[in-house]
Amino acid sequence: MKNNGCKRAFTLIELLVVVLIIGILAAIALPQYQKAVWKARSSELMTLTRGVINANEIYYMANGTLPTSFDVLDLGFPCTQDAAYAAAMGVPDMCVKDNKYILFIGEDLVGAMFLEGPYAWSGFLGAGKDMPSKNIQAGKLYCCEFNGDRGLCDKLFKGTLFASDTTTNSKIYSLP
């Protein structure tokens, strides 16, 4: 076979088609990846919330009263307390963990929320079995969104609206 000096190469159209296919695949995969990342972060936040609930229950069983500070709880993670912020939010105590999460102790419930990202001020609420709560069922975790509808509870977790407050634009969802 005779070689005329021509080398076989990709045409510009073929390269553009490959780039277009990669772009379409990336456009489909990136939102799913981000959703998976936020689901993982939410799972970590749920675990933190359950840990605080369990620590509250242990404290209540030992002392007969609910704790008013994170100092008295036996938590296995460090967090920075913020008494001024807790007073502004109207809860007994609040702490910030890794500058990503805020955890709080309410009078009859505990919770944790994201401080950053698309789901900032969204998180989870719960009450222990020994914590008397007016609205929250003991032992059940609820998803909450404060100051707006960010989609963590309904889109990511398929929650059912449980309660809402139009003055603060807050919603609480019951998780499946």
**DSSP line for 3-34:** --S------HHHHHHHHHHHHHHHHHHHHHHH
The model carries a pTM of 0.78
Q: How many domains does the chain divide into?
A: 1
Supply the Cα-derived Rg of the chain in whole angstroms. Answer: 24
> What average pLDDT does the structure give for the chain?
85
Residue 2 belongs to some domain of the structure: no
Residue 5 located in a structural domain: no
Q: Is residue 1 part of a domain?
A: no
Q: Is residue 165 part of a domain?
A: yes
pLDDT for 167: 77
pLDDT category at 13 given cuts 50, 70, 90 is very high
What span, in angstroms and rounded, lies between the C-alpha atoms of 28 and 24? 6
Domain hosting residue 29, numbered range: 12-174
In-domain check, residue 7: no
The tens digit of pLDDT for each residue in 126-167 reads 887 766 666 778 888 899 998 777 788 888 888 888 888 887
pLDDT of 20 over the 90 cut? yes
With bands split at pLDDT 50, 70 and 90, how would you rate the model's confidence at 93? confident
